[in-house]
């Protein structure tokens, strides 16, 4: 029985284009939540450490070629293989900060032209985030930041399509944060959102599944 007597951690997901600053904000948020005394872990997808993750990594670095549908299913499988650990962590009261999740899966694959409903189907039943934060930056500004690492997808033209896919996928529950604000300002906004979300979960909000 899950109730308010059984406080759980929050599932907080960060999404955005490549070079939007997600990864550094996730690590800043991890440190500040730890400083506030929360039990918290930072995760990311793809998780390149699993067998499936190694296949994904080799695809992203252009060392292997895969059909668009096949790689889509691998990204999804990579989340499914972490689902039960995710549940255990959340139910034991640990908050998870997750750098990319199912929304990336759908946004990047549908940007290639795959049907959006087809893309959403394999994600059905994964844990639904308690909070989705979208770090908003234009594809042009993100490209100006430089440092596209030469991985697959890291090209302006493709990122424009990804931005459109994210727009199609987003809903009113997403918190959109201007990713061009000073780092410290973004950090403060994210901390406030996360702390609010954590208290809602501690008050007994139950875990739900995608696509709810
Ligand atoms: N990506 C990430 C996908 O295409 N599908 C997914 O399901 C996920 C989680 O992988 N360009 C893409 C987005 C990124 C790339 O992610 C690697 P990162 O955050 O650069 O490690």
Torsion angle, CA of 134/17/152/56, rounded to 10 degrees? Answer: -10
Atom of ligand 1 nearest to the CA of 153: 11
C-beta of residue 106 within 8 angstroms of C-beta of residue 170: no
Distance CA 186, CA 59 (A): 32
Interval between CA 152 and ligand 1 midpoint (Å): 9
Mean pLDDT of 181-208: 97
pLDDT in tens, 77-110: 999 999 999 999 999 999 999 999 999 999 999 9
Give pLDDT, residue 4: 47
Q: Is residue 105 lining ligand 1, measured as CB closer than 6 Å?
A: yes
Q: Is residue 158 lining ligand 1, measured as CB closer than 6 Å?
A: no
pLDDT in tens, 173-191: 999 999 999 999 999 999 9
Q: Is residue 45 lining ligand 1, measured as CB closer than 6 Å?
A: yes
ipTM confidence score: 0.99
State if pTM tops 0.90.
yes
Residue nearest to atom 21 of ligand 1 (CA): 46
pLDDT in tens, 124-150: 999 999 999 999 999 999 999 987 878
Q: State the DSSP string of 34-48.
A: HHTT--EEEEESS-T
Strand ranges in the chain using DSSP code E only, listed in sequence order: 11-16, 40-44, 95-99, 131-136, 175-178
Q: How confident is the model at residue 5 (pLDDT cuts 50, 70, 90)?
A: low
Give me the residue spans of the domains in the chain.
11-202
Interval between CA 86 and ligand 1 midpoint (Å): 19
Q: Is residue 123 lining ligand 1, measured as CB closer than 6 Å?
A: no
Name the CATH topology of 11-202: Rossmann fold (3.40.50)
Distance CA 157, CA 27 (A): 28
């Amino acid at each position: 029985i899950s109730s308010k007597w059984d406080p759980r951690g929050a599932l907080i997901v960060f999404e955005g284009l490549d070079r939007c600053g997600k990864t550094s904000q996730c690590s800043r948020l991890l440190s500040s939540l730890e400083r506030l005394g929360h039990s918290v872990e930072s995760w990311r997808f793809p998780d390149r450490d699993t067998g499936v993750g190694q296949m994904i990594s080799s695809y992203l670095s252009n060392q292997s070629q895969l059909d668009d549908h096949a790689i889509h299913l691998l990204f999804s499988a990579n989340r499914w293989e972490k689902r039960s650990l995710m549940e255990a962590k959340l139910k034991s009261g640990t908050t998870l900060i997750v750098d990319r999740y199912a929304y990336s899966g759908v946004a990047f694959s549908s940007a290639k032209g795959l049907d959006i409903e087809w893309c959403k189907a394999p994600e059905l039943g994964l844990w639904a985030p308690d909070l989705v934060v979208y770090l908003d930056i234009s594809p042009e500004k993100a490209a100006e930041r430089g440092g596209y690492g030469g991985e697959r997808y890291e090209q302006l033209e493709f990122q424009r399509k990804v931005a459109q896919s994210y727009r199609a996928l987003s809903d009113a529950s997403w918190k959109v944060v201007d990713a061009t604000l000073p780092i410290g300002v973004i950090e403060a906004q994210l901390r406030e959102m996360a702390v609010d979300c954590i208290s809602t979960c501690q008050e007994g909000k139950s875990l739900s599944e995608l696509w709810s």
